Amino acid sequence: MPHVRALAVPLLLPLLLAVAAPLLLGGCTGDTAQGTNADPAQLDSVETPELGACRVLTPDDVAQPTNATRVVDCGQPHTAQTYAVGELPSSLQDADYDSKDLGAWAYRTCSKKFMGFLGADESLVMRTVVSWAWFRPSEKAWNDGARWYRCDVVGGGDQSKQYIDLPQDAKGLFLGGKPVDGWLVCASGDTVAGSVKIPCSQKHDWRAVTTIKLGDEGDPYPGDRLVQVRTRDFCTESVGAWLGYPVSYDIGYTWFHEAEWQAGNRRSVCWAKTDQ
């Protein structure tokens, strides 16, 4: 039997933070609360945002519930692109500004459109360096009747200190086979939990290689212990196969808790200790 060292990493889902952070933060108005380099014409706007628009967003921008950062030409360096916009459904027209139902709807909507926009399935997008953020109107615009939503693809995740630039048009980025290492997520550090997440094109110690689906929509949360054990067992086998079943190897696995499950995530991520 091979010797396997398994390192658990219970974390918040990077994509989910784009939903959770706005839910936890109170909405407010003004340039600083609506994004860096804010456009006065967008501040407290009730108009639906422009589809396909590009911006230079930062992690601090993504942590806010609304955004009015200036649009830039997509041929110029940018870290975000709007891939979905629209009006909220009638069932949410009377929802509170920080409603959990609003956040759950945004998660389902933006994540589904995110996969379609990039041309990837759920397993692949969880193993890339790109994620998504969603924005709603400012609280002032909400009180004035605005009910739009905006989903942006961004060049980073919840642990990113800064975002990387996106291509001129990110649509179909992952169509046509396995993405290049510049878009796949790896980690540098002794453990996945304490590591810095980086593109696999950079020197690294860990690579996210597979995911496991733990349930379907509507299934009750299995509990922390069962999620961790099922993830560990699956990752031990799948990472071993990915490495070619060496005599000994290290694995990491990222599993998530009930809050992420209720928001729609049903997967854990398996990491292989490798510099390849």
pLDDT in tens, 51-66: 999 999 999 999 999 9
Contact 166, 155 (CB under 8 A): yes
pLDDT in tens, 166-216: 999 999 999 977 889 999 999 998 888 877 888 999 999 999 999 999 999
Those residues with Cβ within 8 angstroms of residue 94's Cβ, 6 or more apart along the chain or in another chain: none
Distance between CA 236 and CA 203 in Å, rounded? 24
Q: Residue 251 in 3-state DSSP?
A: strand
Confidence of residue 7 (pLDDT cuts 50, 70, 90): low
Average pLDDT of the chain, as a whole number: 88
Name beta bridge partners: 151: 84, 134
Distance between CA 107 and CA 2 in Å, rounded? 40
Least confidently predicted of 92-101, 104-113, 165-174, 257-266:
257-266
Contact 50, 74 (CB under 8 A): no
pLDDT at 158: 77
Mean pLDDT of 97-105: 91
| Look-up of token digits 């453990």 | 191
pLDDT at 165: 96
